[in-house]
């Protein structure tokens, strides 16, 4: 029996590191050069959940946006999970991510959600306060990630796997 596949959408503001997180997760690579995503890029990766069950993620890396338009909503259709991504060095990106979560709830009321606060390698420049993250953790699983070093990336997807698999 093949691993069950789940559609995961990456949502977040421009330049928060969604594509870098996908590259780190799928190909274990990191490119320091910034290339904005046009439209959407789909990748897939199979992994084992923390419980040891195989799972396949079909990751939709949706172009960065501050609000969800019709096309963005279309891309979310059928998604089982959302990985919100914010940039720790830009506090505004966190509110954008939460705003996108609110907007996506209409289309995806039951989707599993996790928040990745990215750029942990630049933690000394972070604007997002630990207290803020602690507050969010009450309602969402939050992961401090670094696409550069890979910290927290696997953990974020592992959390999604745990929540997706019965």
Partner 1 sequence: MTTSGNGADANAADAAADAALPPPEQDEFDRLRNLLFGDELRAAEAARARLTEIERQQRALPDRLPHALEAAGAAPRVAHALAGPVAHALGAAVRENRQVVVDTLFPVIGPLIRKSIAEALRNLVADLNGAIESSFTLRGLKWRLEAWRGGVPYAQVVLKHRLAYRIDHVFLIARDSGLVLRHESAPDLPALDADAIAGMLTAIGDFVGDSVGQGGGSALDSAQVGEYLVWVVQGPRANLACFMRGVPPGGLRSLLEQRLEEIHAQLGDLRLEQAPNDAALATAWHETLQPMALVRAAGIDDGVAAAQRPPSRWPLLLLLLLALAGLVAFFAQRERWDDRIDALRARLQAQPGFVLTGLDAEPWRKVTVRGLLDPDADSLHGILERAELGDAKVDVVGTGYLSTDDAVVARRARRLLALPAGVDSSVHDGVLELKGKAPDAWIALARERAGWVAGVRRVEMAVLPDADPVATAQAELATLAHRLPTLQVPFANDALLAAGGGSVVDDIVDAAKRAQALAAAAHARIAFTSVGSNDEVGTDEANQRVRAMRARWLADTLAARGLDGGGQPIALGEDAANNRRAAYLRLDIEAAK
Interaction site with partner 1 (CB under 8 A): 1-2, 4-7, 39-44, 56, 58, 60, 70-71, 74-75, 77-80
In whole angstroms, the minimum distance from the beta carbon of 110 to partner 1 comes to: 13
When the beta carbons of 39 and 109 are compared against partner 1, the nearer one is: 39
d(CA 115, CA 43): 19
The C-alpha angle with vertex 38 and arms to 35 and 40, in degrees rounded to 5, equals: 115
d(CA 2, CA 152): 27
In whole angstroms, the minimum distance from the beta carbon of 151 to partner 1 comes to: 25
d(CA 149, CA 109): 33
When the beta carbons of 82 and 94 are compared against partner 1, the nearer one is: 82
When the beta carbons of 75 and 143 are compared against partner 1, the nearer one is: 75
d(CA 79, CA 108): 7
In whole angstroms, the minimum distance from the beta carbon of 56 to partner 1 comes to: 7
In whole angstroms, the minimum distance from the beta carbon of 4 to partner 1 comes to: 7
When the beta carbons of 25 and 60 are compared against partner 1, the nearer one is: 60
62 with 73: CB under 8 angstroms? no
């Amino acid at each position: 029996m093949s691993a069950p596949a789940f559609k995961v959408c990456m949502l977040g503001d421009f330049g928060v590191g969604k594509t870098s997180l996908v590259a780190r997760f799928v190909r274990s690579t990191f490119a320091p050069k910034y290339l904005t995503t046009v439209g959407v890029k789909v990748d897939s990766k199979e992994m084992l959940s923390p419980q040891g069950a195989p799972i396949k993620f079909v990751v939709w890396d949706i172009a960065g946006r501050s609000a969800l338009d019709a096309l963005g909503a279309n891309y979310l259709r059928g998604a089982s999970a959302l990985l919100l991504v914010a940039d720790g060095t830009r506090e505004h990106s966190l509110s954008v991510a939460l705003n996108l979560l609110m907007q996506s709830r209409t289309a995806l009321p039951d989707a599993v959600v996790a928040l990745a606060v990215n750029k942990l390698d630049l933690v000394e420049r972070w604007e997002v306060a630990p207290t803020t993250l602690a507050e969010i953790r009450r309602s969402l699983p939050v992961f401090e990630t670094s696409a550069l070093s890979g910290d927290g990336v696997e953990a974020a997807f592992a959390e999604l796997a745990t929540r997706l698999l019965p």
